[in-house]
A = this chain, B = another copy of it.
Amino acid sequence: MRKVYTAATAAADVEAVFRLLEGRWKLVILFHLFGGQVQRFSDLEKLIPGISQKMLAQQLRQLEADGIVERKQYPQVPPKVEYRMTEWGQALCPALDSLLKWSEEKNMNKEDVIQKNMNRVGES
């Protein structure tokens, strides 16, 4: 059974999702973890040019607190910490992909867009 939404509640719930992902660096981090990669803190630092340690740590903390990524710390010196997607976080990937599909439709002609979305009705 799907939840039932009014305009206000649908907007509020989508905004809640946005707030989970809105950080300046969260999406890059996620796309480096989608696909099952396991990355250390320093790996992500290298993969994401321009990010500061402060921001990387902050965004990871939030993603972890929100249940989107998982943090695994190995008790050794020097420290070793790994990050990976949670099951639920991984499920975000196809949802973001539908946003990418939409943005790709921008310069399609009307008939194509209508066609695409008629196909999409069959999904549910």
18 additional contacts, CB 8 Å, given A10-B27, A13-B100, A14-B96? A3-B104, A5-B100, A7-B28, A8-B28, A11-B30, A14-B100, A15-B27, A16-B103, A17-B102, A17-B103, A18-B18, A67-B106, A87-B114, A91-B105, A92-B102, A94-B117, A95-B98, A95-B102
Q: How far is the CB of A6 from chain B (nearest CB, A)?
A: 8
Q: How far is the CB of A87 from chain B (nearest CB, A)?
A: 5
Q: Which residue of B has the minimal Cβ distance to A21?
A: B18
Q: Which residue of B has the minimal Cβ distance to A2?
A: B104
Copies assembled: 2
The SS class assigned to the A binding surface is helix
Q: How far is the CA of A95 from the CA of B113 in the complex (A)?
A: 13
